[in-house]
Amino acid sequence: EAGVAQSPRYKIIEKRQSVAFWCNPISGHATLYWYQQILGQGPKLLIQFQNNGVVDDSQLPKDRFSAERLKGVDSTLKIQPAKLEDSAVYLCASSFKDSYNEQFFGPGTRLTVL
Amino acid sequence: KNQVEQSPQSLIILEGKNCTLQCNYTVSPFSNLRWYKQDTGRGPVSLTIMTFSENTKSNGRYTATLDADTKQSSLHITASQLSDSASYICVVSAMITTDSWGKLQFGAGTQVVVTP
């Protein structure tokens, strides 16, 4: 089966600019996750969707980050405006039903903010 | 404070040797514990998943153990290969209850470098 797809793979922007990332989960997976992984650290959950509803966005910096999952399939994560500390890899993952199930990760988008 | 602590932070081993990585957690109520392998520039890939009733699980040369009483897990790599060079991340899932949706807690990972 096809894995989790993400685009773009790399993005370089200047601070205060906007950026958007796209994720296409594995077909049939109800739960979608966005993680931020700073170099040398484990992934940090930003937001979790169950179908098209938000389950947890407690660690999402809502003043600058937003995410949506229209129709319960694809998802986009947006940063506006970007800060230097947003430089990280943004990972998208999906699981069949909920967090009990195995998560499958995409390759990530490496964001560099100059 | 992170609810999942991994040690060591990094280690270097010679090809063919064995090594053991440690994971201590405080997540409660416990549901399951997973070990992921993350190659540089790629997303994590699951190696093993264990519930509280399982105390060992193998995946090829990788063997994970779990002691739910002491809240400790280890990942043992046997006869290491150059392709084992990666970050190994311990992930613990809380049980889904009326008050908890089963949030995953990630460790910071152990960076393993296998040298020829």
Q: What are phi and psi for residue A72, nearest 5 degrees? A: 65, 20
A47 contacts A95 by C-beta, under 8 angstroms: no
Q: Is the distance from CB of A22 to CB of A6 less than 8 angstroms?
A: yes
Choose from A7, A100, A104, A109 for mutation: most chain B CBs within 10 A: A100
Q: What is the pLDDT of residue A49?
A: 93
Out of A45, A104, A106, name the one closest to residue B104 (CB).
A45
- Return the pLDDT at B27: 87
Specify the higher pLDDT residue, A20 or B93.
A20
Residue B111 with chain A: CB contacts under 8 Å: 40
A36-77 pLDDT tens trace: 999 888 899 999 999 889 988 989 999 999 999 988 899 999
Could you report the per-residue pLDDT of B50-103, keeping only the tens digit for each? 988 889 999 999 999 999 999 999 999 999 999 999 999 999 988 776 655 667
Interface test with chain A among B104, B105, B112, by most A beta carbons within 10 Å = B104
Q: A98 Cβ partners below 8 Å, 6+ apart?
A: A30, A31, A50, B96, B101, B102
